[in-house]
Amino acid sequence: MAEIARLEAQVEINSPAEKFYGFFRNKMHHLVQMFPKNVKSFQLLEGDSIRPGCLTHWKYDLGSPMTAKVKIEDVDEEDMTITFNVVQGDVLRFYKSFKAKLQVIRVHTGISSAEWTVEFEKANGSVPDPEHYVDFAVKMSKGLDAYLCKN
């Protein structure tokens, strides 16, 4: 029986929760300019916005150049969540399945958190947990928060 594993990370953010979430809904393509060392390109392949069913294509580098086709599986405006499902790409050489979920939560006035969950199934027992993906999600969240607090 396949075992789905999970990694989680939480980042406290000072920017408004709606603004942080809204960036991923409406301006995700700006990650290329904000994190050029890691995010090389981002395209919407199917659909005209980030919504359930749309297909995106990423070129990225977290230690080596990689690509991924990612389907937006779910978007929940009320809960401020977006679920990403990798359907094709280099990461699937190491993992049979790979999903990431972002949820932005209002903690109290002026403080929110970005919570990342990565669910994956390893292709074999020698594959490490994808901690570098979670580490990048944390780095990206902190950088984006700093940017949004200034603008």
Structure tokens at 60: 């990225």
Q: Tell me the helices (H) and strands (E) count for the chain, helix number first.
A: 3, 7
Per-residue pLDDT, 136 = 96
pTM score of the predicted model: 0.94
**pLDDT at position 144:** 97
Q: Please give the residue that has the higher pLDDT: either 3 or 58.
A: 58
The per-residue pLDDT for 121 is 97
pLDDT at 108: 81
CATH top class, domain 5-150? alpha beta
Q: What is the DSSP letter of 29?
A: G
Query: Cα–Cα–Cα angle for 143, 24, 8, nearest 5°?
Result: 70
Please say whether the beta carbons of 70 and 96 come within 8 A: no
What percentage of the chain exceeds 90 in pLDDT?
Answer: 90
pLDDT grade, residue 81 (50/70/90)? very high
Task: Give the pLDDT confidence score for residue 47 in this predicted structure.
Answer: 82
Rounded-to-integer distance, Cα 123 and Cα 11, Å: 29
* Residue-level pLDDT at 109: 77
Q: Within a 10 A sphere around the Cβ of 45, how many other Cβ atoms? A: 11
The enclosing H or E element of 119 equals strand 111-122
Write the pLDDT tens digit of every residue in 19-73.
999 999 999 999 999 999 999 999 999 888 999 999 999 999 999 999 999 999 9
Joined together, the tokens standing for residue 80 give 């401020």
Answer yes or no: are the C-beta atoms of 86 and 69 closer than 8 Å: yes
- Looking at residue 2, its pLDDT comes to 63
Beta-strand relationship, 39-46 and 111-122: unpaired
Sketch the domain layout of the chain as residue ranges: 5-150
* pLDDT number for residue 1: 47
Please report the DSSP string for 30-42 in residue order: GHHHH-TTTEEEE
Residue pLDDT, tens place only, 88-134: 999 999 999 999 999 999 988 778 999 999 999 999 999 999 999 99
Token pair for 89: 């790409």
